[in-house]
Amino acid sequence: MGIIHPSTKDFDQLLQTNEVVLVDFWATWCGPCLMLAPIIEEISKKYEGKAVVAKVDVDVERALAEHYQIMSIPTVLVFKKGELIGREIGAAAASVYETMIDNAL
């Protein structure tokens, strides 16, 4: 499936229909977000079929970013059964996100 790019209106459905979802909030002008991109890409491949990996551009989906109080990017959220269970602010190593997903699986 690869990385998906949900809009504000289909975000809830994404959370409802998938067990574990990792969402990377980012923007095109954000240096650390670009650094994180290849790591998120790797994670989406590694967890193919187990967890859904999504990216949300905070400039495009402002309402979504505001709803989740994204105040610094990148911020990565992990949801389990629609419930927010993890928040990591700033770019971190792949292992940090893997642990978050593993805890949810």
Partner 1 sequence: MEPIMTDIAIIGAGPAGLSAAINAIARGKSTRVFSTKNNYLERAARVDNYLGMESISGAALMDSFRQHAKSLGASLETGQIITILPVSDYFMLNFKGTIVQAKTVLLAIGAAKQKLLLGEKQFLGQGVSYCATCDGMMYRGKKAIVYGLADEAVEEANHLQQIGVNVTFIAAQQRPVDLASAVQFISGAVTAIEGEKIVQAVRVNETPIETDVLFILRNVIAPTALCKGLSIKDGFIAVNRDMETNIPGIFACGDCSGKPLQIAKAVGEGLIAAQQASKYIDDQKK
**How many residues line the site for partner 1 (CB under 8 A)?**
27
Residue 12 to residue 98: CA distance in whole angstroms: 23
Cα R_g (the chain), whole angstroms = 12
- Respond yes or no: is residue 33 known to be catalytic: yes
Q: In the window 1-30, what residues touch partner 1 (CB under 8 A)?
A: 27, 29-30
Are 64 and 56 contacting, i.e. CB atoms less than 8 angstroms apart? yes
Task: Give which of 19, 6, 92, 16 is closest to 56, Cα–Cα.
Answer: 6
Nearest residue (CB) to partner 1, 35 versus 105? 35
User: In this chain, which stretch among 7-15, 16-24, 37-45, 78-86 interacts with partner 1, using CB under 8 A?
Assistant: 37-45
Footprint on this chain of partner 1 (rule: CB under 8 A): 27, 29-32, 34-36, 38-39, 42, 58-59, 65, 69-73, 75, 89-94, 96
